[in-house]
């Protein structure tokens, strides 16, 4: 299964990024059920980037910055990112 998650994620300063961090950390251990995790995350300020923090025998994690806080076009940008990622579930 390929899972896409729309969330803030560290190093983002957005609210609830700690929740996403722990949720994704748990999902990365489910190698028998999950093939890939696609994080649809907020765009970071210039010079910052997301890292997957991969360890041995973990599900691959890919970050796709595709939205910004309070942007009017977030729904369209997220929909486009979901179509490109083609996950089984969002």
pLDDT digit string, tens, across residues 38-62: 999 998 777 777 776 666 668 899 9
Confidence of residue 88 (pLDDT cuts 50, 70, 90): very high
**H-helix segments, 11-88:** 17-27, 74-85
Confidence of residue 10 (pLDDT cuts 50, 70, 90): confident
Of residues 49, 61, 57, 55, the one with CA closest to residue 23: 61
From the centroid of its chain, how far is CA 74?
Answer: 15
Question: At CA 70, angle to CA 67 and CA 72, rounded to 5?
Answer: 75
**pTM of the predicted structure, to 2 decimals:** 0.85
pLDDT over 90 (residue 85): yes
Q: Give me the residues paired with residue 3 across strands.
A: 37, 89
Arithmetic mean of pLDDT over the chain = 86
The pLDDT, as a whole number, for residue 45 is 77
């Amino acid at each position: 299964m390929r899972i896409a998650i729309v969330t803030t994620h560290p190093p983002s300063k957005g609210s609830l990024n700690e929740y996403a961090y722990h949720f994704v950390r748990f999902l990365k251990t489910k190698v028998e059920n999950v093939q890939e995790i696609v994080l649809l995350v907020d765009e970071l300020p210039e010079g910052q980037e997301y890292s997957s923090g991969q360890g041995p025998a973990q599900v691959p994690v890919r970050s796709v910055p595709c939205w910004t806080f309070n942007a009017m076009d977030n729904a369209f940008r997220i929909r486009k990112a979901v179509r490109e990622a083609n996950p089984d579930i969002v």
